[in-house]
Chain A
Amino acid sequence: MNTTDTTKGESRETTSGKELVSIFVMGKKYEIPKNLTIMKAMEYAGYKYIRGCGCRGGICGACGTVYRKPGDYHIYVGLACQTVVEDGMYLTQLPFFPANRATYNLEAMGSDPEEVYKKYPELFRCVACNACTKVCPMDISVMDYISAIKQGDFEKATELSFDCIQCGLCTVRCMGEMSQYHIAQMVRRITGSKIKPESSHLKTMVDNIKTGRYTRAITDIKSMSEDQLRKVYQAREMEPSEAPEDWKPADNTYL
């Protein structure tokens, strides 16, 4: 990085009167209208994405971006589709970073934390530096969920890691060289399938469908004319919006 390039750019205007700021994409300077996101700024500059762009809505984890500001030693992170450009910001996207992922057979497993420790022994290389939490663009307490996993509290780890978009920035920074997000994924799946209570009403419904409880009703309704169907539709009983969980309809013919 040529330091003279990172001095704060002077504010200028486009012909349409929009205020411009300078950003440095992998060291190269571009002038961009203020208030654009990094992603839109890259496109304004003329880049066309293949990698580094996905949902454009902050949930897919394709556009993790690292940046610095002039005269500031801190590392900043953000999603390119969500972060607004700042004058003098110099950045690179990290569309991919190699990560270690263990293969496992969920169906054959129990909920013993040892199963995770066996697959990911590097968990215990965490030195509690907290760099993962600092780098997370989703403000997830990565180090805390890693520590919950080490303590065997998978429900807590599931809750703490739930908003993870698997962008991989934590993995870039980890001193213990672990791939936190893959470990969290395995833990969440164990929580969902082995630890959280089962839903008995769901099983009952699936069984009732299999034994043909609703077959007749569906066959009848499928053979109705459009007019008949409209009438039945208009007359259907609505569960009130503030009804309690155990609300029951007056008509239970088709239950």
Chain B
Amino acid sequence: MPYPQELKELIKVVEKTRSERVTRKKKNEEVPFLSLEERKKILDYHPDFREEGRREIKVGPSKGYRIAHEMVDMLEAKSRVNPDLVDLSRVDYKTDVLVIGGGGAGTSAALLAQEQGAKVIIATKLRHGDANTMMAEGGIQAATKGWKDSPYYHYLDVMGGGHFKNIPDLVDTLVTEAPDVILWLGKLGCNFSKFPDGTLKTLHGGGTCRKRMHYAADITGAEIMRTIRDEARNRSQDIKVIEFSPAVELILNENGECAGALLYNMETEEYFIVKAKAVIMATGGSGRLHIQNFMTTNHYGATADGIVIAYRAGVGICFLHTVQYHPTGVVFPEQAEGILITEKFRGSGANLINIDGQQFVNEREPRDVESAAVIKECVEKGRGVPTPTGKFGVWLDSPMIDTLSGEGTVEREFPGKFILYKRFGIDISKEPMLIYPTLHYQNGGLEYKSKGETTLPGLFVAGEAGGGVHGENRLMGNSLLDILVFGRIAGKNAADYAKSRSDMGRLTLDHVRAYHKGLEEADIQTDRVSPMLLPDYTLPHVKERQLTSCYVGTLR
């Protein structure tokens, strides 16, 4: 729906200060960046610092770690299956490398594993490519312009964004491999935005000291995902994709090595056994857990499945005490609530503006700082803009991009968002967008090392499911980079590992039994099962009529 009259009146306040703000911007006179001390102060308003939002995990390899209730609920839950009923002698698929997850990390891993001569299976919960990768808009960071940038500066930015807590080896790998990833994507036919002479176009992102954000219009993730998915389809002789079949447990062998996974066909409700010489966990993030009730930008399937099942198999977790809230999620119109407005709008110069038409933060601070500043402006200072549904937001002044860079820029550079808003009767090249922070990224995840390996032999991790490379806060453009750098590395190393492995031993789910026992010993009484697989958006008026007392086969 278009802006109602009350909001149209408030937009006039934004318009009043626009020309002066544009003039300052053109002269590079910006709202000063916060010092590290000032950043620390404002971060008190970040949801990560609400102690009541988390609790200690009582079971498993990271027992005692305090993280969000919603994530602990997933870890303090039973398996979807009774391990005693699974006949592990009935193997349905055998393969060299099993990739769990069909997003960017999983697909790039599959391609590299195949190039090493491995037979690969990708098991994915929804369709191949249904992943947060598809939704990443802004871009991918890489220091490709040697006259002003290098991996050294990229390293600094990544560490600063992550509060200097990142694991240095992982960051080293990330920034050093970055340019080669861009080259690789180009060879696969990915269309990055370029100048006529072939120079890649790059922009700033929050927390970058050099413009190194490469992009493909405003659908960078989709362009990357559809390109590598297409390539995987060209190699379908060696890369088999099993859709609508999430992994619900890892399978180990008697020596405690990873040896496959149990898949669940969501449509027929059957379970299938995959025996694999190496397994790559690439299940992505967890926005659909709606931590602290936040709206989310995430894909329908982002429910932390891989973390749950690898944790049960003994892999520790890290950096999950921090969650990334993207500063700019749609808060009006309600139909689009939670949808991401790419940081590229701010990279292109759009200011964040309060109800009085004033800037209250530089638009290029790291994401956690930016989100905390918006929450503070709305919650503490009361200078948020009220929405018709009783929420608050602040303005993202997109029309100033056209004023800065010429009429038509917004429509040309942000076609996806331009169309989205147009459908609701809002022209974002003329009217600003109303935004509020939205749950966006799982900064932490499973512990892994720079070759993608975990403490569980035979299990590799890539992408958002892993933790450490982004420390406590990821910068824009480093997620697409992460999934491709570590997807490729995990794919290659998993294939090498598979080659070196001859005896697979006897398959077992004993670790699941042991985990169940651990739950009992910790006195956790629950009928929760996990992984969640899909969020439940059934409303109370429907639930109160769903009276089936017991599920009979597929008849619910």
Contacts and interface: CB of A to CB of B under 8 A. Distances in A.
Interface of A: 35-37, 40, 43-46, 48-51, 53-60, 62, 82-84, 101, 103-107, 138-139, 158, 162-163, 165-166, 185-186, 188-194, 196-206, 208-209, 213-214, 217-218, 221-222, 226, 229-230, 232-234, 236-243, 245-249, 254-255
Given A197-B198, A233-B156, A46 B299 contact: no
Contacts of A221: 152, 155-156
A214 B151 contact: yes
Given A105-B234, A192-B188, A236-B209, 20 more contacts: A50-B244, A57-B297, A60-B299, A106-B189, A162-B217, A163-B419, A165-B222, A186-B230, A189-B227, A192-B192, A196-B194, A199-B199, A201-B144, A202-B144, A204-B146, A209-B179, A214-B151, A214-B176, A230-B36, A236-B153
Contacts of B536: 48
A78 B1 CA distance: 16
Given A49-B300, A202-B144, A209-B179, A196 B339 contact: no
B539 interface: yes
A185 to B, nearest CB: 5
Nearest to A163: B415
Contacts of B143: 205
B316 to A, nearest CB: 23
B183 A54 contact: no
B550 to A, nearest CB: 18
B194 A197 contact: yes
Interface in B21-76: 25-26, 28, 30, 35-36
Contacts of A48: 534, 536-538
B182 interface: yes
12 contacts: A45-B542, A46-B546, A54-B134, A56-B300, A162-B415, A185-B230, A199-B186, A203-B183, A204-B146, A209-B180, A239-B211, A241-B349
A184 B126 CA distance: 23
Given A35-B334, A166-B226, A192 B190 contact: yes
Interface string B126-139: 11011010110000
B409 interface: no
A209 B151 contact: yes
Interface majority SS on A: helix, strand, loop or mixed? loop
Interface string B188-204: 11111011111110001
B381 interface: no
A21 B236 CA distance: 46
Contact of B144 (A103, A198, A205): A205
Contacts of B266: 50
Contact of B189 (A57, A190, A240, A249): A190
B146 A57 contact: no
Given A55-B134, A62-B130, A255 B146 contact: yes
A233 B504 CA distance: 48
A194 B300 CA distance: 35
B420 interface: yes
A185 B129 CA distance: 14
Contacts of B156: 221, 229, 232-233, 236
Interface of B: 1, 25-26, 28, 30, 35-36, 126-127, 129-130, 132, 134-135, 143-153, 155-157, 159-160, 164, 168-169, 172, 175-176, 179-180, 182-183, 186-192, 194-200, 204, 209-211, 217, 219, 222-223, 226-227, 230-231, 233-234, 236, 244, 266-267, 297, 299-301, 334-336, 339-340, 349, 364, 415-416, 419-420, 423, 534, 536-539, 542, 546
A49 to B, nearest CB: 7
A226 B416 contact: no
B440 to A, nearest CB: 12
B340 A57 contact: yes
Given A163-B416, A236-B156, A229 B538 contact: no
Return the 6 tightest CB-CB contacts between A and B, nearest first.
A189-B189, A197-B198, A192-B189, A193-B189, A46-B542, A254-B152
Contact of B179 (A105, A206, A218, A245): A206
A89 B426 CA distance: 23
A104 to B, nearest CB: 6
A51 B172 contact: no
Contacts of A57: 135, 297, 339-340
Contact of A158 (B187, B191, B538): B191
A209 B151 CA distance: 9
Given A60-B130, A242-B26, A51 B190 contact: no
A62 B538 CA distance: 20
Contacts of A138: 419
A202 B135 contact: no
Nearest to A239: B210
B441 to A, nearest CB: 15
Nearest to B190: A192
Nearest to B363: A241
Contacts of A40: 335
Given A205-B146, A241-B25, A62 B126 contact: yes
Contacts of A242: 25-26, 28
Which of A82, A201, A254 has the most C-beta atoms of chain B within 10 angstroms of its own C-beta? A201
A106 B234 contact: yes
Nearest to A164: B226
